[in-house]
Amino acid sequence: MARRMTSYMTDNNYVDTSVQKGGIQGFSGCIEHTSIISQLIQEAKVNKKDLTVVWLDLANAYGTFPHMLIRQSLDHYHIPDHFKKVIRSYLSGIELRFTTNTFTTTWQKLLKGIVTGCTISVILFVMGMNMIIKSGERETRGPKTSTDIRQPPNRGFMDDLTITTDTHVQARWVLKALEETVTWARMSFKPKKSRALIIRKGKRAHQVELKV
């Protein structure tokens, strides 16, 4: 099921493998992202252009990933009903309980989190993250390289996101859209691991820690 769903998502171009890395076999990963972002920064300095780069990290992404978002993504990407039935049954059957020195709780259903080592959880996470990434794309277009190739404004590697825009104002628009979607999903960004680099006319204006 995991293999067939992955092929379905890529064959129908629901996942842009130039934007979203990790979880999709056969496509290069974070090294490619890092190289492109480094190139954009270097070209902004050489050509005296404006550029804003924002690095975002979701707090406990795998542990807080809501099953509600998984169900939404299954519907959004038109996953066949018999697949959805199996996945929903699987997720609803995951329970846990806690034991201390004095008592043990009753079994409780999990409403969030993906299972470590579970093969189907990887593509489910990719589908949900794809919805989050796409929510910011409508706000602006990404910057162009010196070869006049337009780059996407948002990039993702599993739970890490990177925003690249021509101005900090555009970056704010994307951040607002992402924050609304992440808040709707009852997730949050990790401020200590989120950074912004602002370059104005080729010179680094400042690099700051974001308060998100």
Question: How many whole angstroms separate alpha carbon 13 and alpha carbon 123?
Answer: 14
Question: How many whole angstroms separate alpha carbon 31 and alpha carbon 20?
Answer: 12
- The mean pLDDT value for 166-175 works out to 88
Q: Is pLDDT of 143 > 90?
A: no
Q: Dump pLDDT digits (tens) for 70-86.
A: 999 999 999 999 999 99
- The mean pLDDT value for 161-187 works out to 89
Residue 19, SS3 per DSSP:
coil
Query: Above pLDDT 90, what percent of the chain?
Result: 26
Contacts for 73-76: CB closer than 8 Å, 24+ residues apart: 73/124, 73/127, 73/128, 73/130, 73/131, 74/127, 76/131
Q: Is pLDDT of 118 > 70?
A: yes
Q: Dump pLDDT digits (tens) for 83-104.
A: 999 999 999 888 889 899 999 9
Q: Is pLDDT of 173 > 80?
A: yes
Q: Is pLDDT of 204 > 80?
A: no
pTM: 0.82
Q: Is pLDDT of 157 > 90?
A: no
In the chain, what are the domain boundaries?
1-204
Question: How many whole angstroms separate alpha carbon 152 and alpha carbon 210?
Answer: 21
